[in-house]
Amino acid sequence: MSALERLKKLLGLGFAASEEGVLEAVASQAQALKAIKETLGLPADATPEQVQEAIKSLKGRHEELEARKLTAETQQMERASQWSSLWSTEDWLAVWIGFFIIILILLGLNVKSPKFKWTTGAEFDSYIAETAPAINKLAEQAGQKEEKALQDQAQALMAAMAGKDRKAIGAAAKKLEEAAKQVKDAGLKKKAASLGKEIGGQAGNLASKVFAWDSILLAIYIGIGILILSIIAMALMGEPVLKFIVGFPIVFIIAWVGQMLAGNYTILYYGLEYVLWCLFIGLFISNVIGIPEWLLKAARTEFFIKTGLVILGSGVLFGEIIQAGAYGIIQALLVVGVIWYFCFWLCRKLQVDDDFAAMLSSGVAICGVSAAIATAGAVKGDPKKLSYTTSLVLVCAIPMLVFQPMIAKWASMPDAVAGAWLGGTLDTSGSVVAAGALISEAAMKVGVIVKMSQNVLIGVAAFILSVVWTFRGATAPGVEKPGLIEIWYRFPKFILGFIIASLVFSFLLDPKTVNAVKGSLGGLRTWWFALAFTSIGLETHFGDLVKMGGGRPAAAFFIAQGVNIFWTLILAYLLFGGVIFPAFSF
């Protein structure tokens, strides 16, 4: 092949191209190469390698500029996202809705709760038989202290009880409560007022009142209010609002039924509170009947419980905890620290991933479902693993709730020790109250103090986990060290709402105001939690629980809970039983 033909091929010219055409094409290419060298700042005699190296350098600078531009755009988008998250993310919406509810109540909105407590005729007769000796003793004490009016009303109540007329018993109990107001002896006054109020309440706890239209209408009003707030939240989060609206009434009705069942005298006596019934019904539907997709859209576990936790902050008062003494705080710190680390260590030994291990550890060590959800937010945990953890917490709570009070009585534990044991192991304040009441009033009070001390640690734990999970792996080669702002991204914002509410009610509001609104806020908080635990049941499938992790997470949880029961009992004896400090008493 001649040189001319090779040039034609190299320049992409046809076979018929003339010699003049080839020369023109070569001149054009030479001119283009000269222009390229000038553009690159190279001399006319630069070699092809130098040209190639200059082009490579130019490409690198171009990519760097593009990266800077992209970074600037990303930062701008992140800043915009940070602001938009205030009204578009579940955590922040739970905070605003919780604050909105609290502010409405503080401004004077009086939300009456539906009636859920009911006592059957047979249960009432049994209750009266058990209470009669206390009334008889009250009448004797009133006579000894020359409280004639109180003695007469106590005897009138005894006569009504003997006649087994429920309406008459209720009326006589109310008169006894009124007579107690005029009693001079403080101890006798308190006892008479308490008995009168309790007996009158039981007499009025008729099942017909639970199903009365007035009570049902109150529930409907609350349901409509929660639905409206939830619709706004779903719309801002971009969730399917119509499907939520269709499914919400079913979730709400289940929550109502759960509270109604828990309101029965016998069920209440044994401490089987509403969260368990809501869970049971939800589990039955999801695992036996089956749950349609449209209903599942309304089962918003995290949204409901986060909002409830913000409202719960109004009931966690630092003043009460500190006033009750440091024993509960010391126990809470020792229980949470030791049991959390033990459970996490055990999970690692059983090859459970760290995120899952953190959720399980918080669930068993701090305060059950609430702590697990706060932890999931801090470590950005898998929702399926969170659902698994909450189910384990509730399944484990049932035998503990039934058997721990029985064991405490059988072992003749001091009331303060028994209460501290219950408060450090049972996962909700309601279950602590119910179980403690089975032992004594003192046990119940101590249990609540310890439980409140652990509740305070939800925010502390969430912050620590946010920090730890932010910087995990940051020291590895090639890994960019995260900034402090990443801690803020990870920190569960609803816990911030919980802390703010607690601080405001603890230190800024008048105690009279706090006492005046705690009933309404407590009732609304119960509704949000009832919806949350109903949703947990609806979202939980036993088949998925069995498959997940080959049973290793469940094994770690149950073993850690067993250690928790024994460790907390030891601490309760050491701290409240007079071993290290003087025996605790009110």
Q: Which residues pair with 118 in a beta bridge?
A: 264
State whether 380 and 317 are in the same domain.
Answer: yes
- Residue 322 lies inside a defined structural domain of this protein: yes
Q: How many structural domains are present in the chain?
A: 3
264 phi and psi angles, rounded to 5 deg? -65, 145
Please, which pLDDT band fits residue 75 given cuts at 50, 70 and 90? very low
Q: How high is the pLDDT of residue 586?
A: 54
Check if the beta carbon of residue 286 is closer than 8 Å to that of residue 541.
yes
State whether 170 and 235 are in the same domain.
Answer: no
State whether 354 and 290 are in the same domain.
Answer: yes
- Residue 545 lies inside a defined structural domain of this protein: yes
Token code pair at residue 451: 């439980």
Distance, CA of 57 to CA of 62 (rounded, Å)? 9
DSSP 118: B
- Residue 584 lies inside a defined structural domain of this protein: no
Q: Tokens 């702002």 sit at which residue?
A: 485
Q: How high is the pLDDT of residue 79?
A: 46
Check if the beta carbon of residue 515 is closer than 8 Å to that of residue 262.
no
Q: How high is the pLDDT of residue 149?
A: 86
Distance, CA of 387 to CA of 553 (rounded, Å)? 12
> Which of the pair, 362 or 323, is modelled with greater confidence?
362
Please count the helices (runs of H) and the strands (runs of E) in the chain. 28, 0
> Which of the pair, 266 or 56, is modelled with greater confidence?
266
Distance, CA of 8 to CA of 26 (rounded, Å)? 10
Last residue of a domain, one of 25, 53, 69: 69
DSSP states of 152-165: HHHHHHHHHHHHT-
> Which of the pair, 291 or 82, is modelled with greater confidence?
291
Nearest to 539 by CA among 431, 400, 399, 394: 394
State whether 200 and 338 are in the same domain.
Answer: no
Nearest to 518 by CA among 104, 201, 105: 105
**Mean pLDDT across 69-95:** 66
Please, which pLDDT band fits residue 281 given cuts at 50, 70 and 90? very high
**Mean pLDDT across 142-158:** 87
Q: Which residues contact 326 (CB under 8 A, 6 or more apart)?
A: none
At 539-573, the pLDDT tens digits run 877 776 667 777 888 889 999 999 999 999 999 99
Q: Which residues contact 325 (CB under 8 A, 6 or more apart)?
A: 449, 584
Q: How high is the pLDDT of residue 263?
A: 93
For residue 54, pLDDT over 60 is answered with: yes
- Residue 79 lies inside a defined structural domain of this protein: no
Radius of gyration for the chain, computed over Cα atoms and rounded to the nearest angstrom:
34
Token code pair at residue 478: 């090639």
State whether 306 and 429 are in the same domain.
Answer: yes
- Residue 313 lies inside a defined structural domain of this protein: yes
Distance, CA of 397 to CA of 394 (rounded, Å)? 5
Check if the beta carbon of residue 54 is closer than 8 Å to that of residue 40.
yes
Q: How high is the pLDDT of residue 72?
A: 45
At 427-465, the pLDDT tens digits run 766 677 767 877 877 787 788 778 877 777 777 787 888
- Residue 300 lies inside a defined structural domain of this protein: yes
Q: Which residues contact 297 (CB under 8 A, 6 or more apart)?
A: 239, 240, 243, 244, 246, 247
Distance, CA of 105 to CA of 504 (rounded, Å)? 14
Token code pair at residue 235: 């719309």
DSSP 421: H
For residue 400, pLDDT over 60 is answered with: yes
For residue 70, pLDDT over 60 is answered with: no
Q: Which residues contact 531 (CB under 8 A, 6 or more apart)?
A: 226, 251, 252, 255, 300, 304
**Mean pLDDT across 415-426:** 88
Which pairs with CB-CB distance under 8 Å and at least 24 residues apart come from 164-171? 164/125, 164/128, 166/121, 166/124, 166/203, 167/203, 169/128, 169/199, 169/203, 170/199, 170/200, 170/203, 170/204
- Residue 114 lies inside a defined structural domain of this protein: no
Last residue of a domain, one of 186, 204, 222: 204
Q: How high is the pLDDT of residue 577?
A: 83
Check if the beta carbon of residue 421 is closer than 8 Å to that of residue 391.
no
> Which of the pair, 480 or 188, is modelled with greater confidence?
188
At 83-137, the pLDDT tens digits run 677 788 888 999 999 999 999 999 999 999 999 999 999 999 999 999 999 999 9
Distances (CA, A) of 574 to 109, 330, 411, 448: 46, 11, 16, 18
Q: Tokens 């603890």 sit at which residue?
A: 506
Residue 309: which domain range?
94-105+210-576
Please, which pLDDT band fits residue 7 given cuts at 50, 70 and 90? low
State whether 23 and 152 are in the same domain.
Answer: no
> Which of the pair, 57 or 372, is modelled with greater confidence?
372
> How high is the mean pLDDT of the chain?
82
For residue 581, pLDDT over 80 is answered with: no
Helices 301-312 and 383-410 pack at an angle, to 10 degrees, of 50
State whether 245 and 362 are in the same domain.
Answer: yes
At 167-185, the pLDDT tens digits run 999 999 999 988 888 888 8
- Residue 10 lies inside a defined structural domain of this protein: yes
DSSP 506: I
Please, which pLDDT band fits residue 339 given cuts at 50, 70 and 90? very high
Q: How high is the pLDDT of residue 19?
A: 66
Check if the beta carbon of residue 281 is closer than 8 Å to that of residue 257.
yes
Check if the beta carbon of residue 286 is closer than 8 Å to that of residue 537.
yes
State whether 388 and 486 are in the same domain.
Answer: yes
State whether 382 and 515 are in the same domain.
Answer: yes
> Which of the pair, 37 or 572, is modelled with greater confidence?
572
Nearest to 200 by CA among 160, 242, 229, 260: 160
At 501-541, the pLDDT tens digits run 989 998 899 999 999 998 999 999 999 989 988 998 888 77
State whether 339 and 442 are in the same domain.
Answer: yes
Q: How high is the pLDDT of residue 10?
A: 61
Distance of CA 288 to the CA centre of its chain: 27
Last residue of a domain, one of 204, 224, 242: 204
Q: Three-state SS across 52-82?
A: HHHHHHHHHHHHHHHHHHHHHHHHHHHHHHH
Please, which pLDDT band fits residue 291 given cuts at 50, 70 and 90? confident
State whether 218 and 191 are in the same domain.
Answer: no
Q: Which residues pair with 264 in a beta bridge?
A: 118
Check if the beta carbon of residue 251 is closer than 8 Å to that of residue 244.
no
Q: How high is the pLDDT of residue 80?
A: 46
Please, which pLDDT band fits residue 233 given cuts at 50, 70 and 90? very high
State whether 145 and 292 are in the same domain.
Answer: no
